[in-house]
Amino acid sequence: MAEKLSAVKGMNDIAPPASAHWEWLEDILRTLMRRYGYRNLRTPIVEPTALFVRGLGEVTDIVEKEMYSFEDRLNGEQLTLRPENTAGVVRAALEHSLLYDGGKRLYYMGPMFRHERPQRGRYRQFHQFGAEALGFAGPDVDAELIVLACDLWAALGLTGIELEINSLGQPTERLAHRQALIAYLEAHVDQLDEEARRRLHSNPLRILDTKNPAMQDLVNAAPRLMDHLGAASLDHFNRLRSLLDAHGVSYRINPRLVRGMDYYNLSVFEFVTTQLGSQGTVCAGGRYDGLFEQIGGKAAPAVGWALGMERILELLKEQGLLPEQPAPDAYAVVPDAARVPQVMPVLRQLRQQGVNVQMHAGGADGMGSMKSQFKKADASGARFALIFGEQELEQGAVALKALRGPRLEAVAEAQSLLPLNAVADWAARLRGA
Ligand code: ATP
Ligand code: MG
């Protein structure tokens, strides 16, 4: 036998029954985006490596150690499986002049790739849903995006998700803070881990984002960026705060919140929960007014967030909120294989009328016993069985049997025999039952 192959470590198949939960979540997300006027953008999964190096910044976890980068063997191009999609959205917006007639509200969903240590809530292929508002200077759209996320938690029934916000100000303000931060960290250099020492002069702000528990006290006492912000940045932040207040959205200001990419400025935020262990950030984002220029385009303000779909689904599971598996309306029981050519077109008519019907599939040697067919019908979760028995078919009809849920009378009037030539009529009632 050939050697068994399995999926790449940290990359998962999503099969039934779990895939139904994904589809359910995706539907809710799409509906919500329509409500807020966000439209779908689909970009390639592979992008030029330079997009992420320039967009996210060279001294970031993603670019330093998490990207799946490779050379195209045929033409030598340097390519990367997208580790995130904000840079791709901005590239596409520039490439197609999407902002020619004003700002655009966009959303995406799909797989992202980061070479991380796989664990609960952290995978090498994972899925993000992201919302981006391009060409708007805020802070109204900043607030809109945050409120939209809160609406999502409510639509899903999720509780216990807390909002943290901060302002990263503008690059010039960060420069002043940077001096103070370097001086502070130099004074405590003995407490820095190897990574922090390496970043001390290249990207000290990133040190505040460390996940090393031994450094938490140190970074908690570090000089605050907030104390270096000018009037305009503070005003933007305060207006965002009052908008959140006006919505009754509660939040905590976390002066240490700096986010993992260099492209952020002004508003940054994260939605966190304590119910997922150490992978507690379910949604994160912020403003990135400098990104358009950084990847070679005309400057445009922008803000957005991305949520980790695996983490949201895990939290839904944790809170017992995952929906039941979808079931067909009806399951067709066909005792005699010779009747299949007559039955299949009837089922097709039903489906064309909007009824979800599953037909019992036979084997090479027939349809199987009635008992086994009814077992399958029951296991399918269908509310009705349609029995295409010999006697019924002789009368030009099909028998209806309620398996669960509503009473039979809702569908068939006096008897449970449905005439085949009135499919449309009883389809409407099957659907509505
Ligand atoms: P973390 O601090 O957990 O590494 P991050 O700051 O790198 O997260 P972002 O790049 O902001 O994450 O991505 C937004 C969201 O995508 C995260 O809040 C999280 O929910 C999800 N996410 C990020 N990386 C992974 C991963 N490797 N596996 C699963 N979900 C992830
Ligand atoms: Mg990360």
Long-range contact set of residues 116-119: C-beta below 8 Å, sequence gap at least 24 = 116/10, 116/66, 118/9, 118/10, 119/279
Residue pair 427/354 in contact by the 8 Å Cβ criterion: yes
- Ligand 1 mutation pick, 62, 64, 114, 281, max ligand atoms within 8 A of CB: 281
> pLDDT confidence of 111, banded at 50, 70, 90?
very high
Minimal-distance CA residue to ligand 1 atom 25: 122
What are the pLDDT digits (tens) for 213-264?
A: 999 999 999 999 999 999 999 999 999 999 999 999 999 999 889 887 788 9
d(CA 44, CA 27): 22
The average confidence (pLDDT) of the chain is 94
Å from CA of 255 to ligand 2 middle: 19
Q: Ligand 1: does its nearest atom lie under 6 Å from the Cβ of 319?
A: no
Tokens of 133: 């508002």
Amino acid 6: pLDDT: 97
Minimal-distance CA residue to ligand 1 atom 28: 122
Tokens of 328: 């067909």
Ligand nearest to the CA of residue 309, numbered in listed order: 1
Minimal-distance CA residue to ligand 1 atom 8: 281
Amino acid 432: pLDDT: 75
Residue pair 285/308 in contact by the 8 Å Cβ criterion: no
Minimal-distance CA residue to ligand 1 atom 2: 281
d(CA 360, CA 163): 50
Å from CA of 114 to ligand 2 middle: 8
d(CA 194, CA 174): 23
Amino acid 411: pLDDT: 58
Quote the radius of gyration of the chain (alpha carbons, Å).
28
Task: Mark 168-195 as b/e (b = at least 16 C-beta within 10 Å).
Answer: bbbeebbebbbebbeeebeeeeeebeeb
Å from CA of 268 to ligand 2 middle: 15
- Ligand 1 mutation pick, 279, 288, 316, max ligand atoms within 8 A of CB: 279
Question: Phi/psi at 85 (nearest 5 deg)?
Answer: -125, 5
> pLDDT confidence of 194, banded at 50, 70, 90?
very high
Q: Which helix (H) or strand (E) covers residue 21, if one does?
A: helix 18-36
Q: Rounded to the nearest 10 degrees, what angle do helices 340-352 and 423-432 cross at?
A: 60
Instruction: Kindly list the structural domains of the chain, giving each domain's residue range(s) and its CATH number in brackets, ordered by start.
Output: 18-170+230-318 (3.30.930.10), 330-432 (3.40.50.800)
Tokens of 152: 């999502």
Minimal-distance CA residue to ligand 1 atom 21: 308
What are the pLDDT digits (tens) for 256-277?
A: 898 877 889 999 999 999 999 9
Sign of the dihedral defined by the CA atoms of residues 73, 74, 75, 80, in that order: negative
d(CA 66, CA 304): 22
Count Cβ atoms below 10 Å from residue 36 Cβ, excluding itself.
15
Q: Distances from the Cα of 203 to the Cαs of 56, 59, 276, in angstroms?
A: 12, 6, 29
What are the pLDDT digits (tens) for 25-35?
A: 999 999 999 99
Task: Provide the β-strand partners of residue 166.
Answer: 268
Only one residue has tokens 């050379």, namely: 71
- Ligand 1 mutation pick, 9, 65, 128, max ligand atoms within 8 A of CB: 128
Check pLDDT > 90 for residue 413: no
Check pLDDT > 50 for residue 184: yes
Minimal-distance CA residue to ligand 1 atom 7: 260
> pLDDT confidence of 414, banded at 50, 70, 90?
very low
Task: Provide the β-strand partners of residue 343.
Answer: none
- Ligand 1 mutation pick, 126, 162, 212, 258, max ligand atoms within 8 A of CB: 126
d(CA 405, CA 415): 18
Q: Ligand 1: does its nearest atom lie under 6 Å from the Cβ of 310?
A: yes
Tokens of 333: 């029981």
Task: Kindly give the number of the ligand 1 atom that is closest to the alpha carbon of 124.
Answer: 27
Residue pair 135/250 in contact by the 8 Å Cβ criterion: no
